[in-house]
């Protein structure tokens, strides 16, 4: 990853954690951008901030423990005050593609339980239409070949995600297909078609979920984009 993108991620994360307040229950995202937000929250905890948090992946949970961010089981959560997470693409209506880090199912569960959902990206992730980044689709291992064929019938190329010479396994012990659709003009409609396939656990479309997007530039500037009214 180039230094400009890293700088944009750091800057966006630094702006997003300004929304965190004492006593909040937080959702901690997953991936290279959320990493910087978790680091920032850890520093705030070190300085005396009192919060509770749930993590969207084993990776983020481990990082939070290292930073002494108090974690609670999801069974104790009804609503989260704020979740800060990254995205692989953001379109003009703040629809997202997520799941490049493999945590899309847990991320969506956490997002759906969140009052104020903040997405942080470097500005290169802002696009007019989704689709340059392949859509991650989490599927159950049973009969995955059939699920792959059904996905291909939607005019995409579904590639099994690999970890070395083995199939990548999510924290939920499922597989991921990275589906190349090309330009996606109607994400909501495609989301419905993908979700209707038996064997699909979740896809990486996050439709109408983000409340704001904080985009960071390598020059040190941040832009806050609000959900269209």
Could you list the active site residues? 107
Angle at CA of residue 214, ends 42 and 39, nearest 5°: 15
Collapsed DSSP state (helix, strand, coil) of residue 83: strand
Q: How far apart are CA 61 and CA 67, in angstroms?
A: 10
- To the nearest 10°, report the CA torsion of 138, 77, 38, 60: -40
Q: How far apart are CA 106 and CA 103, in angstroms?
A: 6
Tokens of 171: 């924290």
**Strands of 96-97's sheet in order across:** 89-90, 96-97, 205-206
Tokens of 16: 């997003």
């Amino acid at each position: 990853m180039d230094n400009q993108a890293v700088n944009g991620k750091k800057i966006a994360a630094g702006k997003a954690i300004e929304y965190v307040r004492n006593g909040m229950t937080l959702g901690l995202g997953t991936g290279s951008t959320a990493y910087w937000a978790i680091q920032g929250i850890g520093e705030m905890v070190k300085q005396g901030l009192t919060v509770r948090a749930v993590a969207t992946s084993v990776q983020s949970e481990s990082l939070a423990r290292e930073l002494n961010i108090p974690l609670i089981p999801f069974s104790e959560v009804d609503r989260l005050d704020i979740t800060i997470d990254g995205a692989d693409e953001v379109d003009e209506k703040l629809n997202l593609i997520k799941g490049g880090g493999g945590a899309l199912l847990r991320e969506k569960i956490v997002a759906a339980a969140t009052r104020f959902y903040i997405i942080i990206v470097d500005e290169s992730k802002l696009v007019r239409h989704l689709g340059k980044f392949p859509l991650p689709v989490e599927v159950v291992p049973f009969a995955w070949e059939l699920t792959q064929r059904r996905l291909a019938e939607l005019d995409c190329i579904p590639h099994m995600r690999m970890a070395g010479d083995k199939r990548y396994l999510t924290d939920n012990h499922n597989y991921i297909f990275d589906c190349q659709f090309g330009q996606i003009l109607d994400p909501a409609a495609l989301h419905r078609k993908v979700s209707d396939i038996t064997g699909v656990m979740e896809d990486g479309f996050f439709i109408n979920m983000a409340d704001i997007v904080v985009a960071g530039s390598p020059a040190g500037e941040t832009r806050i984009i609000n959900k269209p009214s």
